[in-house]
Chains A and B, each alone.
Chain A
Amino acid sequence: MTSVMEIYQLLPKTNCKQCGKSTCMAFAVDLLARKLKVDDCLPMVNNTKYSSDYDKLNKLITPVSGVTETGLIVHEDKCIGCGNCVVACPVNVAADPFGAGSGKAPTSDKVIFKVEDGIVKAKNVQECRRFGENKTICVACIDTCPTKAIEFV
């Protein structure tokens, strides 16, 4: 998994504050957490001398499109569509006990995980137990994934 240092090494390290953060390291932390985008670093976008690092950084941060508000990422290339997370997720079980909770295709639109075209898709992530005021560090979807396709950043 990508580390803050890996990201930091690719940044301009000038602490220019144009991104709104006080240091490049702070930017790296937020970038890893997907609170900011690579393009929020204006020097990297505008100055061609950073272009190769900019490309590398974009590669490193590719799953950004898949990241949800709770920091949940599905690595689609690793997912085998087994549905373990769909059935194990406590929110899915509560929302759809006779569908997802019983091992079958979800029969409710309120579920968080659903396998579409062979790959799990995360929806309704605001319902995730890791989200909101009384959040808990639930790992049901991570622990049950045989290929480590799900992570939280």
Chain B
Amino acid sequence: MGFGDFLTLPEIKLRVVTCRNVFQNTAQETSRFGEDYERLSAVIMLDPKDITRLSIKDGETVALRNGHGKVVVKAQRSGQEDAHSGIAYMLNSPWSNALVPVPDTGKGVPKYKDFEVTVQGSKGEKVTGIKQLF
């Protein structure tokens, strides 16, 4: 065990926007309980700068939490050519929905495309399974 493992990994706050992905949608059509659906859904896409700030590597698991829930997902470099440090993308799925807030404004629309989460590296921890989400 290296010295670094004794240190707690940094926590950062990010704004999350959910979006769609055709491969994940395809997996959902085939089975919501399948491996592909989890592999493609339980992901947060980060700016390389935020990956560095978190002291993690591309593909490692991270814990996401806010006042609504906590999930463990894989961190991935977003591959976006424009910098988006401070903003992360997740696909619309039960994993993002564990964190999406419902504002108390009475308008009937959750904040799917703009919510805050605290992110921290959790290397070695398993991605939250779909059945554990509920």
Contact = CB atoms under 8 A, between A and B. Distances in A.
Interface of A: 80, 118
Interface string B15-46: 00000001100100000000000000000000
B26 to A, nearest CB: 8
Interface of B: 22-23, 26
B81 to A, nearest CB: 13
3 contacts: A80-B22, A80-B23, A118-B26
The interface residues of chain A, by DSSP majority, are classed as loop
Contacts of A80: 22-23
Q: By DSSP majority rule, is chain B's interface helix, strand, loop, or mixed?
A: helix
Contacts, number: 3
Contacts of B23: 80
A56 B64 CA distance: 37
Nearest to B23: A80
Contacts of A118: 26
A118 B25 CA distance: 13
A55 B22 CA distance: 32
Nearest to B26: A118
Nearest to A81: B22
A113 B22 CA distance: 21
Contacts of B22: 80
Nearest to B22: A80
B28 to A, nearest CB: 14
A135 B26 CA distance: 38
A80 B22 CA distance: 7
A18 to B, nearest CB: 41
B82 to A, nearest CB: 17
A129 B26 CA distance: 33
A118 B23 CA distance: 11
Nearest to A118: B26
A38 B23 CA distance: 31
B36 to A, nearest CB: 12
Nearest to B25: A80
Nearest to B21: A80
A118 B26 CA distance: 10
Nearest to A78: B23
A123 B23 CA distance: 25
A147 to B, nearest CB: 9
A118 B27 CA distance: 13
B117 to A, nearest CB: 28
A78 to B, nearest CB: 9
